[in-house]
Amino acid sequence: MGKRSLRLLNREYAAKILFIISASAAIIAVGLICVFLFLQGLPAMWDMGIIRFLTGTDWRPTWDPPRFGILPMIVGSLYVTAGAILFGVPIGIFAAVFMAKFCPRPIYVILKPAINLLAGIPSVVYGYFGMVVLVPFVRENFGGNGNSIFTASILLGMMILPTIITISENAIRAIPPEIYEGAIALGASHERATFKVVLPAAKSGVMASVILGIGRAVGETMAVRMVAGNQAILRMPHEFLSGARTLTANVVIELGYAYGEHRAALIATGVVLFVFVMIINALFSILKKKESA
Amino acid sequence: MDKLKRKKPVDLILFLLTWLGIIITVSVLIFVVGYVVINGLPFIRPSLFAREFTTENQSLFPALVGTLMIVGLSLILAVPLGVFSAIYLVEYAKRGSRFVKIVRLTTETLAGIPSIVYGLFGFIFFGVFLGWGLSLMSGAFTTSIMILPLIMRTTEESLKSVPDTYREGSFGLGAGRLRTVARIVLPAATPGILAGVILAIGRIVGETAAIIFTLGNVARMPNNLFDTGRTLSAHMYALANEGTHPGEAHATAAVLLIVVLLINALSSWIARSITKDRG
Amino acid sequence: MEITNKFLINDVNLWYSDFQALNNINMDIPEHMITAFIGPSGCGKSTLIKSLNRMNDLVEGCKITGSILLDGENIYGDIDVNALRKRVGMVFQKPNPFPMSIYDNIAYGPRTHGIKSKFVLNEIVEKSLQDAAIWDETKDRLKKSALSLSGGQQQRLCIARALSVQPDVLLMDEPTSALDPISTGKIEELVLQLKKDYTIVIVTHNMQQATRISDNTGFFLLGELIEYGETQQIFSIPQDKRCEDYITGRFG
């Protein structure tokens, strides 16, 4: 082997090593995130008592001794997410069916980029829109001061629309045309074939879109924090016009000035949020695998 | 119209519901974008772009510069890492190897982590543990991890869309793998990678929660890598929360929205022009 | 003239994972001649031609036993694969010019092997394009994208690109299957001219093509070499019934 080819081989080898190291970056990042969040969050949770932390209804960081119970925030996240699903999912699925099965081509080429644009609007802009438009609207038409679970639900419902539409549309399009044609050949109308045959066939993909939407809603921070009122009080479902605080809002509101035990409690809040979101994402990938199988 | 009349009642309702769904969706877009832009434009004044931020002018200029710095630094970190790892996954790794599976799993995990968790992690790791405090470095490192999965995925897709015949042609001439990748595959995949990078820029510009605890939210330009500052989104958040300058807040929201939408539109325009070329 | 053999293929078996694609192949490929591989789809002819410059290495799960000697050296021994592929050039089924200028397409090979001088590169580009009989059509547009050429021109460009690294052998894997009859004719003419300088192995689906241009023909079926000999002989008095059936169009 000549000198030149040896040198080239070395270069090949060096490049391959560089690429492998780069590919490890994602692993290292996830490792660091887990280690640092759990290492700082779990011991704090342990000291406070995991059960007391998760089921405590008082969040009083300034009391002596302070109390750190995040049940109001867990429930708050639950409410706004459920609300977002209530608003976003039916609209999103119907819109997805429209895009996949009812949309005339000339309209489609306009709508598709429009939905992508919707996905691109920054959450702080959504939050700002919520503050100046939705909050007064809810205050005047439904009562309360407008900063509420209800308002946050509407806003989140809007924000998860592009996720639901895009993924559901893809799932519906992935259903082989023979299935639709089979139904049509039996005399079913276009609507009946679409809703009774194609949509059920796309069930797992549509479910995946809903789950990803839930993940987005649970993890959304800025927009929720700007319209939800943020009181760390355990709310009952009928109090949907009152304010509530989510797990995300809890971190974003207090992290800036928290020290010691208080900061640890916020990191622990982050850990709970992280675990929730990971469970949701795991469900999503299971459903996606099921869809492709 | 005849067609509508001939539909059975159930079918008609379903048909109208799909229209309703899309009409609500489009209305949301038009309403949000229209409201923010129309209310913001009248307040866009030269003073909004003054070099220094003061209580009177509420200038977004320092935030704009801060945004550019964060974007630049973050790309310097994330683009090589993302592109190299995609190259490894597509061009080098054996399909279905254990390592590849772990990389994919962790990449998906990264893509699913909410931005506030990134903010929290950046704060405790880069800010506190490494002692970088609220700084450009903390902010850029945090956002670079956030956009890594996006860059990896778009690069992987672009590399996969390069026809294998190009690779065969190059190998057939006695070129090694590195030369084939660097000279033939990568240039052919560049537009797709670019579209992904631009999308990542949009993501960073629109990001708030991960920024305010890593870069901070101080209305001035960072002087060095370890200095604090703010981005346009963080600036917007501060303005909205203070509520003392509604006009400037309107204007800033409009500027932010327009910038992000233009970036996203540019990205999808590039992505579309590729599919047309390959047509 | 004495016939020397370029390739000696001994007991070659090849698997793609569990599937055996080549079964105990033995054949000699003579220098400065055109050897054609024929047979129905999936018979192993493409697989065999790709083992001659180790392009099969790129296929995951590909395993090969036996030996293939090129000028007496086993190409599956401890050799530099890139140097092998420089010596054994390849033209593919579908024209695959790189998405760059005509000039850069041809210069890519020599540059790969370390030639940097602009002057030398210019000469190589001109000579390669001339040898591939496409110089007249391209000399005024060397900076234009190679993708702007017609299919037939693209394939001749790919032949020129293969010639640019001065190989001994040219492997052609159904080089005209994607082309119209006129372009096919031009390529065949070109292949006959190249014969005096190169050893050529060609895989073809087209019986007439094999008779028109090749000196020797091997007939493959299900991964086995069924019959191998002078083209005249094979096509006029095939020894094997299956070979006869195939060349008379009864299957395939």
pLDDT tens figures, A24-78: 999 999 999 999 999 999 998 888 889 999 999 999 988 888 899 999 999 999 9
Q: By the CB < 8 Å criterion, does B278 face chain C?
A: no
Give the number of domains in chain C: 1
SS3 content of chain C, % helix, strand, coil (to 5): 40, 25, 35
Mean pLDDT of C173-185: 91
H helices, E strands: number in chain C: 10, 10
**pLDDT number for residue B6:** 73
B198-213, pLDDT tens digit by residue?
A: 999 999 999 999 999 9
pLDDT at site C58? 86
> CA B183, CA B10: separation in Å to the nearest integer?
59
Strands C216-221 and C34-38: parallel
Exposure string (b/e) for B234-261, b if CB count within 10 Å is 16 or more? Answer: bbbbbbbeeeebeebbbbbbbbbbbbbb
Average pLDDT along chain A = 92
Task: Inspect the interface and report whether the beta carbons of A251 and B103 lie closer than 8 Å.
Answer: no
CATH architecture of A67-292: Orthogonal Bundle (1.10)
CB contacts, 8 Å: B264 with chain A = 116-117, 120
Q: How far apart are CA A58 and CA A69, in angstroms?
A: 5
> Residue C57: pLDDT above 80?
yes
pLDDT at C199 over 70: yes
Q: Whole domain around residue C29: which residue ranges?
A: 5-247
Give me C224's structure tokens. Answer: 């086995």
pLDDT at C2 over 80: no
In this prediction, residue B2 carries a pLDDT of 60
**What pLDDT is attached to residue B22?**
96
- Measured in angstroms, the CA of A15 and the nearest CA of chain C are apart by 17
Could you say which of C60, C100, C161 has the minimum Cβ distance to residue B173?
C161
Q: Cβ contacts (< 8 Å) between A123 and chain B: which residues?
A: 206, 208-209
Residue of chain A whose Cα is closest to the Cα of B107: A26
Residue C185 has pLDDT above 60, yes or no: yes
pLDDT of residue B274: 74
pLDDT at A1: 47
The confidence score (pLDDT) of residue A3 equals: 62
Give the integer Cα–Cα distance in Å for A77 and C183: 68
- Phi and psi of B74, rounded to 5°? -60, -40
Q: In the predicted model, is pLDDT for residue C53 greater than 80?
A: yes
Question: What gap in Å lies between CA C98 and CA B171, rounded to an integer?
Answer: 12
CB contact under 8 A, C165 and B173: yes
Q: Angle A260-292/A203-219 helices, nearest 10 degrees?
A: 170
Q: How far is CA A291 from the centre of its chain?
A: 20
Q: Would you call the peptide bond into A65 cis, given omega within 30 degrees of 0 as the criterion?
A: yes
CB-based burial label for B136 (10 Å; 0-12, 13-18, 19+): buried
Interchain pair A120, B202: CB under 8 A: yes
User: What single DSSP character describes residue C29?
Assistant: E
pLDDT at C231: 94
Q: Is residue C252 part of a domain?
A: no
Query: Is the pLDDT reported for residue C251 higher than 70?
Result: no
pLDDT at position A62 is 86
For position A291, what pLDDT does the model report?
Answer: 73
Q: Is residue C99 part of a domain?
A: yes
Give chain A positions within 8 Å (CB) of C82. Answer: 5, 8
pLDDT tens, position by position, A11-22: 899 999 999 999
**pLDDT less than 70: residues of chain B:** 1-5, 275-279
pLDDT of amino acid B168: 94
Task: Express the helix, strand and coil content of chain B in percent, nearest 5 each.
Answer: 80, 0, 20
Using an 8 Å Cβ cutoff, are A214 and A81 in contact?
Answer: yes
pLDDT class of C1 with cuts at 50, 70, 90: low
Mean pLDDT (whole number) for C222-234: 93
At residue B189, what is the residue type?
A
What gap in Å lies between CA C44 and CA C237, rounded to an integer? 23
In a domain, C27, yes or no: yes
Q: Which long-range contacts (CB under 8 A, 24 or more apart) does B178-181 make?
A: B178/A11, B178/A12, B178/A15, B178/A16, B179/C112, B181/B87, B181/B91
- How far apart CA B236 and CA A217 sit, in angstroms, is 21
Question: What CATH number is associated with residue C80?
Answer: 3.40.50.300
Q: Which chains touch A (3 or more CB pairs under 8 A)?
A: B, C
- Cβ–Cβ contact B29 with C under 8 A: no
- Candidates A195, A293, A240, A258; CA nearest to A59 is A258
Pair of tokens at residue B83 = 């592109």
Q: What is the mean pLDDT of chain C?
A: 92
Nearest CA-CA distance, residue A285 and chain C, Å: 27
Strand order in the sheet with C73-74: C19-30, C5-16, C62-70, C73-74
Q: Would you say the ipTM is above 0.90?
A: yes
Q: Is A163 on the interface with B (CB under 8 A)?
A: no
Shortest distance between the Cα of C84 and any Cα of chain A, in A, equals 12
Q: How many CB atoms lie within 10 A of CB C230?
A: 12
CA distance B33 to A223: 15
Are C98 and B184 a contacting pair at CB < 8 A? Answer: yes
Q: How far apart are the first and last CA of chain C?
A: 36
Taking CB atoms and an 8 Å limit, are A161 and B25 in contact across chains? yes
- Amino acid present at C220: F
